[in-house]
C-alpha cells in the first residue's frame, strides 16, 4: 500500500498546533512518465496532503461544534484538488512540451494551494533568508491569449521553456484560481504524489514529496523547503551472504531508494534510477548488505546531477539506500541495512 507523507523532521521543526491530513486522493495523470519511460500515457496518481496549522482548533468551544476558520475543511480540500486535477489534465495544459513530469504536477499543485511558486531548485533546508518563494503572478483572464509585446523577462522564460521542455510549463490558465490555503495560518505543508504503476520492479511505487515550513512572522514566507524522490520496494534476486549455503543461489532483496534535496526540474529520473539499482543488484556477488548498499548509493549519487546548472552551486544531494533481506532471519520479517551518502 502506498505510504503516507513522511513526518516533518522533529529535531529541526517544532510540531504544529494541529494538523489535517488527506491520504491517497485518487486521480489519473498523463503528466508523468510511465514505468517504460513513455510520456503522455495515463496512469494512476495518489495525492496525499498534510497541513500543519500554527494555532490550535477552536471548534471544540464553538457554538454548534461547527467547522470554522481555525481548521481546513477536508471535504472542500478533496473536492478542490480533484477539480484542479481535472482542469490540469485537460487542454491546453495536457499538451505540455515533452509530456510533462511529476515535478511539474508538484509545482503547480503547490501554487494552487498556497498562491506561491516553488523555486526552480529545491533548497537544502536553508535559512529563512534563503528560502524566498516567488509569488504567483496576477491571473490572466481565461479567454485572453498571452500578449505579443511581452517584456524581455517573459520572452526569456518562454525560450527557456522551449529549450528545456521538462521545466515548468506556463500556468496562466490555472492562475485565475485563488489559493486554497491561508498562509498566515500555516505552520507547514507536505504534499506527496504517489505513482504506484510507474515502477517495473518496485512493489511500492514512486513517491515525490515536497515539504515546506512557513514563518508566520514573515507574512507566511516559507523558512524551510525540501523535496524527496523515492522508489520503494525494488525486488531483485541477488547473490548475497557470508554463509556457504547463501553462495549457492540467489535470494530476493528488497531495496528502497530515497533522494533528498531533489530538484523538481530534474525530470522523471526514477525510471533510470530503478534501472541502475536493479542492474547492480542482479550482478552483485557481495557478501554483506553494507557493502552492496554503499556501492548502490554511490552509483545513484554519481548518476544524479550534483550541481545547479545556472549557478554551479552544489545542491547537496543525499541518497539513502535501504536493503531488506527477508530470508536471512527465519523468525523476523527481515533485517534492514540503511546507507546514506552525501
Encode burial over 58-83: b for 16+ CB neighbours within 10 A, e otherwise.
Answer: eeeeeeeeeeeebbbeeeebeeebee
Q: Look at residue 319 and give its three-state secondary structure.
A: strand
d(CA 327, CA 325): 6
E strands, the chain, are 18-29, 43-53, 116-117, 134-135, 186-195, 202-215, 221-238, 251-260, 318-324, 336-341
Answer whether residue 46 shows pLDDT above 60.
Answer: yes
Assign 30 to helix, strand or coil. coil
* pLDDT value of position 314: 56
Among the ranges given (26-40, 161-175, 328-342), the one the predictor scored with the smallest mean pLDDT: 161-175
Write down the mean pLDDT value for the chain. 78
Question: Are 207 and 192 a contacting pair, CB within 8 Å?
Answer: yes
Give pLDDT tens digits for 75-120: 999 999 999 999 999 876 666 566 789 999 999 999 999 988 887 5
Grid cell at residue 90: 485537460
Neighbours of 160 (CB within 10 A): 12
- Cα–Cα distance for residue pair 193/201, rounded to 1 Å: 19
pLDDT at 137: 43
**Domains, the chain, ranges and CATH?**
18-58+72-140+153-212 (3.30.1130.10), 228-341 (3.30.1130.10)
pLDDT in tens, 225-267: 899 999 999 999 999 999 999 999 999 999 999 999 898 888 8
By the 10 Å C-beta count (0-12 exposed, 13-18 middle, 19+ buried), 159 is classed as: exposed
Higher pLDDT, 335 or 182: 335
Sign for the pseudo-dihedral over CA of 156, 162, 168, 173: positive
> Which residues neighbour 152 within 8 Å (Cβ) at sequence distance 6 or greater?
none
Average pLDDT over residues 153-170: 40
Question: Is a pLDDT exceeding 90 seen at residue 334?
Answer: yes
Query: Which of the pair, 127 or 134, is modelled with greater confidence?
Result: 134
Q: What pLDDT is attached to residue 302?
A: 82
Query: Above 60 in pLDDT, residue 173?
Result: no
- Collapsing DSSP states into helix, strand and coil, what is residue 222? strand
Q: Which stretches within the chain are classed as H helix? A: 74-88, 102-114, 152-163, 270-283, 289-303
- Neighbour tally for 283: CB within 10 Å: 10
Render pLDDT for 185-235 as a digit per residue (tens, 0 to 9). Answer: 888 999 999 999 999 999 999 999 999 998 866 666 788 889 999 999 999
Q: Is it the case that residue 124 has pLDDT exceeding 70?
A: no
pLDDT of residue 161: 39
Amino acid at each position: 500500500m502506498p505510504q503516507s507523507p513522511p513526518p516533518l523532521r522533529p529535531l529541526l521543526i517544532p510540531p504544529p498546533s494541529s494538523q489535517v491530513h488527506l491520504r491517497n486522493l485518487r486521480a489519473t495523470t498523463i503528466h508523468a512518465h510511465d514505468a517504460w519511460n513513455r510520456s503522455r500515457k495515463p496512469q494512476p496518481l495518489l495525492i496525499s496532503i498534510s497541513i500543519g496549522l500554527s494555532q490550535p482548533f477552536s471548534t471544540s468551544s464553538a457554538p454548534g461544534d461547527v467547522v470554522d476558520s481555525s481548521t481546513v475543511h477536508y471535504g472542500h480540500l478533496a473536492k478542490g484538488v480533484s477539480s484542479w486535477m481535472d482542469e490540469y489534465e485537460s487542454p491546453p495544459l495536457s499538451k505540455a512540451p515533452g509530456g510533462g513530469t511529476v515535478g511539474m504536477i508538484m509545482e503547480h499543485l503547490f501554487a494552487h494551494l498556497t498562491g506561491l511558486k516553488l523555486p526552480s531548485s529545491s533548497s537544502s533546508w536553508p535559512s529563512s533568508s534563503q528560502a524566498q518563494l516567488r509569488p504567483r503572478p496576477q491571473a490572466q483572464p481565461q479567454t485572453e491569449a498571452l500578449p505579443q509585446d511581452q517584456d524581455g523577462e517573459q520572452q526569456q522564460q518562454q525560450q527557456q521553456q522551449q529549450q528545456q521542455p521538462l521545466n515548468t510549463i506556463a500556468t496562466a490558465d490555472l492562475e485565475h484560481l485563488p489559493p486554497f490555503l491561508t498562509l498566515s495560518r500555516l505552520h507547514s505543508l507536505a504534499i506527496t504524489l504517489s505513482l504506484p504503476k510507474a515502477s517495473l520492479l518496485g512493489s511500492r511505487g514512486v513517491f515525490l514529496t515536497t515539504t515546506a515550513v512557513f514563518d508566520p512572522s514573515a507574512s507566511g514566507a516559507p523558512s524551510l523547503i525540501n523535496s524527496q524522490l523515492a522508489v520503494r520496494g525494488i525486488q531483485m534476486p541477488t547473490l548475497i551472504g557470508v554463509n556457504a549455503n547463501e553462495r549457492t543461489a540467489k535470494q530476493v532483496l528488497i531495496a528502497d531508494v530515497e533522494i533528498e534535496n531533489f530538484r523538481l526540474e530534474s525530470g522523471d529520473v526514477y525510471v533510470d534510477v530503478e534501472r541502475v539499482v536493479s542492474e547492480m543488484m542482479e550482478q552483485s556477488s557481495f557478501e554483506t548488505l553494507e557493502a552492496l548498499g554503499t556501492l548502490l548509493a554511490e552509483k545513484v549519487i554519481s548518476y544524479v546531477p550534483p550541481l545547479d546548472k545556472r549557478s554551479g552551486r552544489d545542491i547537496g544531494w543525499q541518497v539513502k539506500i535501504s536493503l531488506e533481506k527477508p530470508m536471512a532471519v527465519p523468525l523476523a520479517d527481515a533485517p534492514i541495512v540503511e546507507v546514506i551518502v552525501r
